[in-house]
Structure 1
Amino acid sequence: MSLQRVNLSIGALLLVILAFIISTGAMRLVSFNFWAFSNFTPLGAMALFTGAYFNNKFKAALVLIATLFITDIFINYLYTSKIVWFNTSSLWLYASFMIMILIGSLIKKVNITNVLLASLASVAVHWLLTDIDPWLHGNLYAKGLSGYGESLFMALPFERNMLLADAAFGAVLFGGFELIKGRWGATRYSKPVVVSSK
């Protein structure tokens, strides 16, 4: 299916952010209580979806940053019983999701193959970037390349969960949106979808 970009008003954008924060917070809470689900969140699929469908990449980035920032405060409190507004180690995480938005923007036609390839690329970016901080600033790994390799190896179960989450939530986001477009009729989408002209 050919891809149609979406222009969001501030009100619609806030609703999207709220929906993403609630769904992400819920899944991060599940992963906090059940380690088998660690990293099984909609964040990766959200990054690809907003990159693919939002005309305004600044708004796409705003959705992701707001979701990460707010749910990070929530999760950090669960782990430390303190409110931590920001941690410099999060910069690698934020950078990985900004790159994922760019990867999503490269999707020109929505189909299983293109979304799957974008998911694989985004998980690889997340894997390579987010393991830099624990390698450089943690005490678990040696500082040489072998330590970075060990950090990457130890992260494989988490990245597997992210890939599975991208598949599940990506099917809901991309598939759901394309299904809605199909049910509303292709003629309504001959031009980019406009949620609001304001």
Structure 2
Amino acid sequence: MSLQKTNTRTTVLIVMVLAAIAMRIVNTQVPALSNFTPVGAVALFGGAYFADKWKAYLVPLLALVISDMVINYIYAGKFTFYTSSLFMYGCFMLMTFVGTFIKKVTVLNVAAASVVAVLIHWFIMDLPFVYGMPNTWANYGTLLVKAVYPFETNMLIGDAVYGAILFGGFELAKSKFTALQGKRQLAL
């Protein structure tokens, strides 16, 4: 693959990741869209499409960190960092890892990966110690139940919608522009 073809593909992937993550900032302004974000879809997308795996992890992670800083500035008036963010970033890396297993883009493969991404988020982010609570099974169970709706439900719907846009959009673009096709050609 030529260098220009690689640069074009990488640039398009980066722009798509940034555009999707920008929607996370927009969604925070509408309380009903709590957790209806592209976070899981972006992680899966990066894992599936970036040929260089360091880009698969770094580009979406940097986009997430930057969006966190912007969101925190909007709400707190300053750039703040929360300890729980480290767990979220860890979840994000695991979601990207799941995306690396998408060898063939199909609705079923992307949907299955989205469910796994939501489960990763649900089981890790609701651990009691993430929020400074006593680490008991009762607290964990309570947090898991409280998270189902609207948080994890919205995340699953968000992953489905943004996943369809990202994966479907890039597959469509690849079919029209050969410069976007990679060494390992993913197919519908």
Does structure 2 retain, via aligned residues, the 8 Å contact 1:119–1:163?
A: yes
The partner residue of 2:110 within 83, 95, 115 is 115
How far apart are the structure 1 equivalents of 2:63 and 2:105? 24
Q: Which residue of 1 aligns with 2:120?
A: 125
Please give the secondary structure, in 2, of the residue aligned with 1:108: coil
Point out where structure 1 has 5 or more consecutive residues left out of the alignment: 1-6, 194-198
Matched length? 179
The partner residue of 2:22 within 2, 25, 42 is 25
Residue 26 of structure 1, CA deviation: 3.4
| Equivalent residue letter for 2:32 | A
Residue 129 of structure 1, CA deviation: 1.2
How far apart are the structure 2 equivalents of 1:191 and 1:17? 18
Q: Which residue of 2 aligns with 1:92?
A: 87
Residue 177 of structure 1, CA deviation: 1.5
C-alpha distance 93-190 of structure 1, shift in aligned 2 (>3 A):
closer
Identity rate of aligned residues, in percent? 41
Q: Which residue of 2 aligns with 1:152?
A: 144
Please give the secondary structure, in 2, of the residue aligned with 1:75: helix
Please give the secondary structure, in 1, of the residue aligned with 2:82: coil
Point out where structure 2 has 5 or more consecutive residues left out of the alignment: none
Residue 58 of structure 1, CA deviation: 1.0
Please give the secondary structure, in 2, of the residue aligned with 1:107: coil
C-alpha distance 38-152 of structure 1, shift in aligned 2 (>3 A):
same
**C-alpha distance after superposition, 1:52-98 (max 9, x if no partner):** 111212111111221111111111122222222x3321111001111
Residue 165 of structure 1, CA deviation: 0.9
Does structure 2 retain, via aligned residues, the 8 Å contact 1:123–1:159?
A: yes
Does structure 2 retain, via aligned residues, the 8 Å contact 1:48–1:105?
A: yes
Q: Which residue of 2 aligns with 1:164?
A: 157
TM-score (norm 2): 0.83
Does structure 1 retain, via aligned residues, the 8 Å contact 2:40–2:159?
A: yes
Q: Which residue of 1 aligns with 2:170?
A: 177
The alignment status of 1:60 with 2:53, answered yes or no, reads no
Please give the secondary structure, in 2, of the residue aligned with 1:101: helix
| Equivalent residue letter for 2:24 | M
Does structure 2 retain, via aligned residues, the 8 Å contact 1:28–1:38?
A: no
How far apart are the structure 2 equivalents of 1:98 and 1:136? 20
How far apart are the structure 2 equivalents of 1:190 and 1:76? 36
Does structure 1 retain, via aligned residues, the 8 Å contact 2:25–2:70?
A: no
Please give the secondary structure, in 2, of the residue aligned with 1:39: coil
The alignment status of 1:38 with 2:34, answered yes or no, reads yes
